[in-house]
Amino acid sequence: MASWFSRFTRTPRRSDVPRLRSRGVDQLTTKVELVEFTPDLLGFLGRSAYVQLMVFENLSRAISTAPSTTAKTAIGRAAELSLAKHRRLVAEIVRAGKDPAEVMEPFTRVVDDFERDTRGGDWFETVVACYLTAGFLDDFFARLALGLPDETGRRIAGIFSSESGEAVLADLLTSAIEENSRLSARLAMWGRRLVGDTMLVARSALRYTDDHRSDEARIEPVFTELIAAHTRRMDALGLTA
């Protein structure tokens, strides 16, 4: 764990902006997976559905303080895509014969605490938080879903691998940073801080065995890959993680 956090303490610098690659279930299945640590179906759905609702709420809040109509429109599109994922997850809860609000309720405290810790001090930090944490958690839940039974797991993994507002938010933030270079260092530092909190809320979703040392050895490569994806998202903004 210590080695994961330490790599996010370097001095930020600008870098060339790479292309963001689209995610897909087939791509995810070629990597190290978390299937041994997947919780029961309703536990998975309740937590992940509430996380998507949190992302939607944060994006909706960012619309009200956006500095331009262009920014409002872009964030609105991202919010719509997050809400669509939430609705698809809620539909899975209904398919299982349960009440969505009741299934989500046990996870509200941990997710609400995470939201408060990662909200940011201004509009720019809020949008960066939405961009980075939503991307990290989509990747995480897509992997974790593959441990659910049979076709159900692949169907739910596909929800998280579907279209997101990632590219829209990246373009919006890149333009803002290019217009005000002083944002770069501050947002790079904020992005490095976010990864720790996001890892903690992701790890809280895992179902551990009694062999904690063995669990950590199997989990570490997955989080190494998730952090690498986080770094690419930072790079896409011209920031260094």
What does the pLDDT read at residue 32? 55
pLDDT for 105: 98
Residue 8 lies in a domain: no
Does a structural domain hold residue 5? no
Question: Within a domain: residue 226?
Answer: yes
Position 4 in a domain: no
CATH number assigned to the domain comprising residue 40: 1.20.1260.10
Instruction: Map tokens 């063995």 to a residue.
Output: 214
Q: How many domains does the chain have?
A: 1
The predicted pLDDT at position 152 comes to 94
pTM: 0.84
Averaged over successive runs of 10 residues, the pLDDT of the chain (241 residues) comes to 38 38 42 82 98 97 94 96 98 97 98 94 96 97 94 95 94 94 94 96 92 86 95 93 57
Q: Tell me the residue range of the domain where 148 lies.
A: 34-236
Examine residue 2 and state whether it is found in any structural domain, yes or no. no
* pLDDT for residue 150: 85
Residue 1 lies in a domain: no
- Amino acid found at 238: G
Are residues 148 and 45 in contact, defined by beta-carbon separation less than 8 angstroms?
no
pLDDT of residue 241: 57
Task: Report yes or no on 71 lying in a domain.
Answer: yes
- Identify whether 28 is part of a domain: no
